[in-house]
Structures are given as structure tokens and as C-alpha cells.
Amino acid sequence: MKKRLLAFTLIAAMGSALLTGCYAGYPAQTTGTAPAAEAAKPANDKLVVGFAQIGQESGWRDGETNDIQWYAAQHTDTIDLVFADAQQKQENQIKAIRNYIEMGVDVIAFPPVVETGWEAVLTECKEAGIPVILVDRGVDESCADLYDTQISSDFIWEGQQAADIVGDLLGGSGKVVELEGTVGASAANERKEGFDGELAEKYPDIEIIASQTGDFTRALGKEVMESFLKSYDDIDAVFAHNDDMALGAIEAIKEAGKKPGEDIKIVGCDGVKGAFEAMVAGEMNGTVECNPCLAEQIFDTAAKLKAGETVDKWIVSNDGVFTQEDAAAELPNRTY
Amino acid sequence: MKKLTQKMEFKPFCVLVAIILICGVISGGDFFKITIVEGHFYGRLIDILRNGSRYAILAAGMTMALGTGGTDISVGSVMAIAGAIACSIVDGRILGGLNGNVFVAVLIALLAGALCGAWNGFMIAKLKVQPMVATMILLTAGRGIAQLIADGKIVTITSEAYYNISGGYILGLPVPMFIAVGVVILFLLLTRSTAFGIQVEAIGVNPGSSRLAGIKVERNLWIIYILCGITAALAGLIESAGIKGADCNNCGLMIEMDGILAVAIGGTSLAGGRFSIISSVIGALIVQTISTTIYAFGVAPELTRVAKAVIVIVVCLIQSQAFLTQVKKIRIGKAGKKEAPAV
């Protein structure tokens, strides 16, 4: 009996721990929206933007959230941000957007968690006359005329920039291996398209000798690089579709007794903090930023849309290109 | 000779040797090339040993869980938790008082693994929840816990001591291999030198009658799932050390499937009963060899999964007794038909 009682209390304790664990993010969401919603109604002269964030999925996403909230906090006299966290669920994002329509915000902005299933809610936005900004991700073709603009990176351009860095580092000739992102991901397909195309066009003497997916992860980036190093002893450079795979590749190169950054040049994408640290240490040569700090562009565009101006259908985010020379100066500014 | 071929370990071992030999021949001997770089061995076979160790360690724990007719699908998440804890401590993000002591960090991470295992054990042994369902809780919640510990970021560390867990060498051979060998020896002692192994098999065959026969079923299940948790934590430490960071989103993602696959290829029935840890370790090496092979031959990225699946199917067919008898029957049938007109 005693044992049973003990077991029961244990379940109760663990169960409640689980529940509180699950709902930890929830109060933040409601407190985030409720006061802002009340504040939004009287202040009509302010720019009221409803932002339905996907949730916490990566350091990159957190960087984006922080930037938007920070920017709004800096401009409280002109901007009212109504923020919601959808916890990675499309239905939560749709719920938040419907909520914004009901509140009558000026502009709705959100990164669509998936590409499909937005027809209904975007039509509702259009009928309510509220402009929509898609942030950092797109929706499927059928919704093309249901949103006003999309602010996102140009992955093809990123690939081209990376190719230029590699071309410069190798002086126009050499052998390159490519660590691809997740098969089918747009970031992977378009970065590859940009990189391969630019190399073929501008640097015909640089050859891509091998290309394999590393699923955007460090562990696989390392494992694939280990294999490349055994298949070819004359690799001059690596292009990784994201910095994490590049960081994995660095470890593999070290194990092969070569010097990353010198014997084999390494270029990545995204511009995460770890990549900058590696560049400062001389182990990586360059990265093409995929900037999550979109707040300024989002709010500027929102202001234009509120004023009834027309904006481009696709606004390319301000991405930078960084090499070892400017890494040390930029490192303190890295937020993700 | 007959005795040898009837051993459970015989078939998987032959398959492993066959795969490696075929790879070696196709690659023109390149696959076997081992050189010495900076005082340690370097080559694809060494890669298989190092990267396969974490599967081997996982499979060792998983074998016992499967031997009881249960399973533990939470191992990947437990790996992430262990990696997140160890890296956070080494980095000084949590428990700063330890000054990033690697030894203590590893110890605490292993304890956390044991705790996760104990939670699984509690659900399965005490509450009689089906193992797949019970461990599914940690499978989903565990990654969230790891995210909370690591603050949703990839915690990057620079500690060389921690890196040595995966990248270090003893006598020129990778450290993870020695960890795996240690774990396997411990588990073999536990299951073959004590009654524990037979008890596990008995539980797998029939838990009810095992209990009536005086086997402490509950206690044994607790022990098994705690061991599973510890092995998962070890694998997590190796993985996070290898990339010098805790990648909570991806560390051990879907690895429970590879773990179960390794055990299944090894020949242990997923329904419980007879099990062999050595077979599972060989199975783990087969799983790793398959992916190493795919990278070595430069299979197009879109086809890697398909290639893996095809090899796994072939391996499973070779293992399947029913399939082999069917093949034999067809052969005998053909032979029989040829003889038929003559009679």
C-alpha cells in the first residue's frame, strides 16, 4: 500500500512537471499578445504590425525573433508589435492571423511554417484589406496574388557569392567538394544552383569533384568530409551549404592531418557565430550571411504598405559576405 | 565447424565481412587503405570503427531491452540530453562552479542518462505501460528538455579533453572503439557470467511465468532500461564530442531506428527471447559500413536513402530463415523437374 502511494505521488509529481514543462512557453505567448492587443486599439496613428512567429526552432529563428522584438521596443512611439508564438504549428499561426484580422491590425507579417494550406486565411486577410508580408519563407504558387510582398534571402545569390570567395581563394583553379543541405530543401537546391552556375561561368578551371548531402548538420558534415578526404587527396576547397556542416568539416580535415583554412579552404553559408569564431582562429575562410535581422526591412515595408504605396513582390534581405579579414571586427555583432 | 556455423553471431559476421570485401574489391583496395597520420591510424576501416562505436554502444543496451520483448525508442533524445548537459557544463554555461571540469561533466551526463532510463523503467516496470509508448514520451519530450538545457542553441565548446572522447586515440586506434569494447565486455559479463542474461531471455519469452518462477521481473526491467539510458548517454557524449558541440535538434535524430536495425540485422528477435550482444555489435558495424560505403562510392545525394534501403533489404533476406528455405525449395523443385522426365 505504502509503495503504491509512493508510486502515485511520483506519477503526480512527474506528470505535473511534464505539464508545466509543456506549457512553459504558453504564458509568454498570451501575455505577449493580450496587453498589446488592448494597447493596439486606441493608438490608431501608430503602425500596428501583427507578427506570427513560427516558434523556437533554431538559433537563427531566435535571432530573428530577438531582432523584431528589439526593434519594436526601440520604436515604441511609432510601432505597435503584436507578437505570437505558433510553437511550430500551422494551425496556431492561422489562429494568430485570424486574431490579427479581428483586431484590425495595419499589417500582418509571418514566416509560413509550411508552404501549403494558406489559401483560406490569406483570402480572409485580403477581404479584410490587411496587407500581408511573408518573412524569410515562401508559400506555394496558388497563393501568389494573396500576399503583398515577401522579404527573404536570395539563396542563388548566396551560392554565387560563395563561388566568388572560393574562386578568389584558389586563384581561379583547383578542386572543390560540396557539402549539400537536406535533399529537396530550397536553401540547398538554390545555393547549389548559384554556386555551381557561377563556378562554371566565371571559373572554368575550378572543378567540383564530389558533392554529397550532409543534411545541414555538423555530425553528417564531418562524416561526409571524412569520406571525401579518403577518396581524394587533392581537395583544395570545401563549400558547405551551411556553416554547421563547415564546422563539422573542419574537424574532419584536422583529423586527416591537414590544416583547415590553409591546406583546404572552407566557405559556408548563414554567418553563425561559430563560423566567425572559426574564421578568427584561421580555420575557416568565408561565409555568406543569411541575415535573420529583418526587422528594419519588415517595419519599413509595413509602413509603406500602410501608407498605400506599392512595394516589390520580392524584397531581398540585406545579406553580407564575410571573409577572414573582417571576421574579427564583425564577431561581437553576431547575435545568432 | 557445424557448431560455429550454428552460432547466432556467424551469419551477421559473414555479412559484415562480405560487405567489406565487396567494397574493397570494387574500390580496388582503396577501401582497405590504412595509413598513419600524426601517429594514429587513418582510413575508412578506422572511420567505421569510430563512427560505428556509438551504434555499437546503443545496440548493446537496446539488445537487452529487445530481449525482454520491450524496446527503447527514446535513446536519440537521451543522447541529445547527455550532449547538452556535458557541453553546457564544459562550456561553463551551467554549474559554473565546476570550472568546466570534463570528468565531472561526463559523470553528470551519464547520471542524467541513468535518470532518463529510470523514468522509462518506472513507466514500464511499475506502471506496465507498453515499452514503445512509455519511451515515446521521452522521445518527444527529451529533445525539448535538451533544448531547454542548451537554451535552444548549438553549444560550441573548444575543450580538447572533451573532444578526445570522440577524436582521441589510444595506441593509434580511436577512443570510442575502446569505450564500445569496454561496454560490451561489461554487458557480456553481466549477461553471461550471471543469471541475468537467462532471466532477460525468460522475461522476453513469458514475463508471467518468469515471475511465477521467481524471477524479479520488475527489478530486471528497471536495470535494463537504466542501462539503456546510460548507453544512450555515452553515445550522446561521443557524438557531441566529435562535433565539439551539442546540436540538440539533430544529435541522435532517428538513431533509435538505426539501433533497432543493428539489433535486428544481428539476428535478435524483436519479439524477445534469445539475444546476443555480440551479434548486435556486428549489426551496428554493418549499419555503419553501409553508410560509409555509400559515401565512399559517391552515390548521388538523392539516392543515398534508397541505396541504404536496398542493402538493408538484402541483408535482412540473407538473415531470414523462411526466405532461405524458400530459395532451397525452389532449387530442389527445379532439380526435381529436370529429373522428372527421366523417371
B-chain residues near A223 (CB < 8 A): 47, 51, 291, 295
A21, closest residue in chain B (CA to CA): B145
Residues A285 and A300 in one domain: no
Q: Is residue A5 part of a domain?
A: no
Average pLDDT, chain A: 86
Residues A305 and A184 in one domain: no
Name the residue among B42, B126, B243 with its Cβ closest to that of A7: B126
| Tens digits of residue pLDDT in B112-169 | 999 999 999 999 999 999 999 999 999 999 999 998 998 878 888 989 999 999 999 9
- Terminal C-alpha separation, chain B: 37
pLDDT of residue A20: 43
In angstroms, the CA B341 to CA B266 distance is: 44
Interval B201-212 mean pLDDT: 93
Residue A24: is its pLDDT beyond 50? Answer: no
pLDDT of residue A10: 53
Tell me how many domains chain A contains: 2
**B251 contacts A58? CB cut-off 8 A:** no
Interface of chain B against chain A, CB under 8 Å?
A: 30, 33, 37-38, 42-44, 47, 51, 119, 122, 126-127, 137, 141, 144-145, 147-148, 152-154, 156, 167, 239, 242-245, 247, 249-251, 291-292, 295-296, 298, 301-302, 304
| Tens digits of residue pLDDT in A136-180 | 888 888 888 899 999 999 999 999 999 999 999 999 999 999 999
Q: What is the torsional sign of CA B56, B59, B61, B64?
A: negative
Residues A40 and A124 in one domain: yes
Residue A31 — pLDDT band, cuts 50, 70, 90? very low
Residues A142 and A38 in one domain: yes
Residue A269 — pLDDT band, cuts 50, 70, 90? very high
Instruction: Give the domain extent around A106.
Output: 26-153+294-319
Residue A208: is its pLDDT beyond 90? Answer: yes
pLDDT of residue A182: 87
pLDDT of residue A114: 86
**Whole-Å CA distances, B235 to A32, A117, A244:** 39, 39, 20
| Tens digits of residue pLDDT in B298-338 | 888 888 889 889 988 988 888 788 888 898 888 887 766 65
In angstroms, the CA B308 to CA B291 distance is: 7
A-chain residues near B38 (CB < 8 A): 257
ipTM for the whole complex: 0.88
pLDDT of residue A39: 45
How many CB atoms neighbour CB B217 within 10 A? Answer: 18
Query: Which of residues 151 through 190 in chain A touch B, CB cutoff 8 A?
Result: 180, 183
CA distance A7 to chain B (A): 8
B276: phi then psi, degrees, rounded to nearest 5: -140, 120
A-chain residues near B251 (CB < 8 A): 219
The CATH architecture to which B17-298 belongs is: Orthogonal Bundle (1.10)
| Tens digits of residue pLDDT in B255-272 | 999 999 999 989 888 888
Which of A216, A227, A233, A215 has its CA nearest to residue A252?
Answer: A227
Which of A69, A131, A62 has its CA nearest to residue A97?
Answer: A131
Q: Is residue A326 part of a domain?
A: no
In angstroms, the CA A183 to CA A102 distance is: 39
Residues A115 and A160 in one domain: no
Q: Is residue A18 part of a domain?
A: no
Residues A237 and A311 in one domain: no
Residues A125 and A195 in one domain: no
Q: Is residue A335 part of a domain?
A: no
Residue B343 — pLDDT band, cuts 50, 70, 90? very low
Residue B103: is its pLDDT beyond 80? Answer: yes
Per-state percent for chain B, helix, strand, coil, to nearest 5: 75, 5, 20
Residue A36 — pLDDT band, cuts 50, 70, 90? very low
**B250 contacts A217? CB cut-off 8 A:** yes
Instruction: Name the least confident of A21-30, A180-189, A205-214, B117-126.
Output: A21-30
Please report the number of interchain residue pairs, chain A to chain B, with beta-carbon separation below 8 angstroms.
94
pLDDT of residue A132: 95
A13 in B contact zone (CB under 8 Å)? no
Residues A136 and A170 in one domain: no
Residues A41 and A141 in one domain: yes
Residues A159 and A284 in one domain: yes
Residue A25 — pLDDT band, cuts 50, 70, 90? very low
Name the residue among B145, B244, B291 with its Cβ closest to that of A251: B244
- Look up cell 538523392; give the residue: B302
Assign residue A299 the CATH number of its domain: 3.40.50.2300
Residue B341 — pLDDT band, cuts 50, 70, 90? low
**B247 contacts A217? CB cut-off 8 A:** yes
Q: Where exactly are the structural domains of chain B?
A: 17-298
| Whole-model pTM over 0.90 | no
Q: Which amino acid is at A240?
A: A
A56 in B contact zone (CB under 8 Å)? yes
Q: From the candidates A62, A180, A251, A331, which should be mutated to test the interface with B, based on the most B CB atoms within 10 A?
A: A251
Interval A61-73 mean pLDDT: 90
Residues A270 and A256 in one domain: yes
Q: Is residue A101 part of a domain?
A: yes
Q: What is the torsional sign of CA A227, A230, A234, A236?
A: positive
Residues A174 and A83 in one domain: no
Q: Is residue A1 part of a domain?
A: no
A-chain residues near B174 (CB < 8 A): none
pLDDT of residue A34: 42
Interval B28-37 mean pLDDT: 86
